[in-house]
Structure 1
């Protein structure tokens, strides 16, 4: 029974922290646009500080920790990708350009054939 009470308290506390994080983020954005007469550096620093505070509060929740864990796993997966070298990228780009040009010519010829056929069938050509 006590585990259920602790779970519901933790869940409601997470909800409060999540709402606080969203509130800080919204207040930061409102402040950024409200104080438009302030120097741009001050406004940007305030925006960055507000976003960092919001992310810190978000990280304190279970859902926030799972989101950050997902981002870390995604970053690890990106590091494992075998990226093509520059010559491979240039070669594939040239192949794509050539295929696009050839397909354009092919479709233009098909269009010209159908135009000739329609003119022939309608008696205009």
Structure 2
């Protein structure tokens, strides 16, 4: 049986950083609505600044640093992907469309045969 470990925020400083990040987002949303009479520039400015501040505080925490490391690793792996050429993409797309047409014809034919068997031969409704 595999054991899964749950990581929690350990130190008080880490908890405080995450709490400040959450409070900045909440303050930004509250400011957005409270500054409604000041105009949309002030509203959106307060919201954007609060979110930028929250992201900045989050990325100084251990959780944010781990997320940044994960993002770098993921980007490094994406660079290793060998993407298909235009010709290969068009060929595969044509194969998929061809398969869909063949399956549509097969399913329509199956449906009509089953309909004929049930309604005409078994139930004699027609």
Give the shorter-chain TM-score range. Answer: 0.7 to 0.9
Q: Does structure 1 residue 121 correspond to structure 2 residue 118?
A: no
Structure 1 portions without partners, runs of 5+: 1-9
Q: Which has the larger displacement, 112-121 or 43-52?
A: 43-52
Please report the TM-score for the alignment, with normalisation by the length of structure 2. 0.79
- 2 CA distance for matches of 1:89 and 1:38? 52
Please report the TM-score for the alignment, with normalisation by the length of structure 1. 0.80
Is contact 2:25-2:50 (8 Å) kept? yes
Structure 2 portions without partners, runs of 5+: 1-9
Q: Which has the larger displacement, 13-22 or 75-84?
A: 75-84
After superposition, the CA RMSD in angstroms is 1.9
**Equivalent in the alignment of 2:27:** 27
Q: Does structure 1 residue 94 correspond to structure 2 residue 100?
A: no
Q: How does 1:1-125 map to 2 (within 5 A)?
A: 11-119=11-119, 120-125=121-126
**Shift of residue 68 of structure 1?**
1.2
What secondary structure is seen at the aligned counterpart in 1 of 2:11?
A: helix
- 2 CA distance for matches of 1:42 and 1:33? 11
**Aligned residues between the structures:** 116
Give CA deviations for 1:57-89 in whole Å, capped at 9, x if unaligned.
Answer: 111211111111111111111111111222222
**Shift of residue 37 of structure 1?**
4.4
What secondary structure is seen at the aligned counterpart in 1 of 2:100?
A: helix
